[in-house]
Structure 1
Amino acid sequence: MKRIYVIEYDKQVASFLVETLKESGYQPFLANDYDKILAEFTAYEPHLVLIAVGTPAFDGLYWSREIRAIGNCPILLMPDSSYKMSQVIALENGADGYFSKPLKAIPLQTKIERTLKRVYAGDKGSALKLRPMEIEYRGEKQSLTRKEYFLMKAFMERPSQLLTRQYLLQLLTNNIGELDDNTLSVNITRLRRKLSQIGLENAIQTVRGKGYKFFSK
Structure 2
Amino acid sequence: MFKIMLIEDDASLYHEIHERLTQWSYAVYGIDNFNLVMEEFAKVEPDLVIIDIQLPKFDGFHWCRMIRSHSKVPIIFLSSRDHPTDMVMSMQLGADDFIQKPFHFDVLIAKIQAILRRVYNYNQPQETSLRTWNGATIDFLQNSVSNAKGNITLTKNEIYILRILVEHKNRIVSREDIMKSLWEDERFVSDNTLTVNVNRLRKRLGEIGLSEWIETKVGQGYIAIEEDLHDD
The TM tier, using the shorter chain, reads: 0.5 to 0.7
Q: Using structure 2 for the length normalisation, give the TM-score.
A: 0.50
How far is the alpha carbon of 1:121 from its aligned partner? 2.3
How far is the alpha carbon of 1:84 from its aligned partner? 3.7
Residue 103 of structure 1 aligns with which residue? 103
The whole-number CA distance in structure 1 between the counterparts of 2:118 and 2:88 is 19
1:113-124 correspondence runs (5 A): 113-123=113-123
Equivalent residues of 1:62, 1:93 under 8 A apart = no
How far is the alpha carbon of 1:58 from its aligned partner? 4.5
Residue 15 of structure 1 aligns with which residue? 15
How far is the alpha carbon of 1:28 from its aligned partner? 0.1
Q: Percent identity?
A: 30
Counterpart residue type for residue 104 of structure 2: K
1:60-209 correspondence runs (5 A): 60-84=60-84, 87-123=87-123
Equivalent residues of 1:3, 1:28 under 8 A apart = yes
Q: Partner of 1:70: helix, strand, or coil?
A: coil
Q: Cα deviations across residues 33-70 of structure 1 (Å, max 9, x unaligned)?
A: 10000000000000000000146865101101111111
Q: Partner of 2:52: helix, strand, or coil?
A: strand
How far is the alpha carbon of 1:95 from its aligned partner? 1.1
How far is the alpha carbon of 1:8 from its aligned partner? 0.2
Report the count of equivalent residues: 125
How far is the alpha carbon of 1:81 from its aligned partner? 4.1
- In structure 1, the gaps of 5 or more residues are 130-217
Q: Partner of 1:28: helix, strand, or coil?
A: strand
Q: Partner of 1:71: helix, strand, or coil?
A: coil
The whole-number CA distance in structure 2 between the counterparts of 1:123 and 1:55 is 31
Question: Structure 1 pair 56/8, CA: closer, same or farther in 2 (3 Å)?
Answer: closer
The whole-number CA distance in structure 2 between the counterparts of 1:32 and 1:57 is 13
The whole-number CA distance in structure 1 between the counterparts of 2:115 and 2:37 is 22
Q: Using structure 1 for the length normalisation, give the TM-score.
A: 0.53
The whole-number CA distance in structure 2 between the counterparts of 1:70 and 1:17 is 26
The whole-number CA distance in structure 1 between the counterparts of 2:82 and 2:68 is 25
Question: Structure 1 pair 72/55, CA: closer, same or farther in 2 (3 Å)?
Answer: closer
Moved more, 3-12 or 47-56: 47-56
- In structure 2, the gaps of 5 or more residues are 127-232
- The structure number with the bigger radius of gyration is 2
Residue 165 of structure 2 aligns with which residue? none
Counterpart residue type for residue 10 of structure 1: D
The whole-number CA distance in structure 1 between the counterparts of 2:80 and 2:57 is 13
Residue 52 of structure 1 aligns with which residue? 52
The whole-number CA distance in structure 2 between the counterparts of 1:82 and 1:29 is 26
Any runs of at least 4 consecutive aligned residues in structure 1 with deviations exceeding 6 A, and if so which?
none
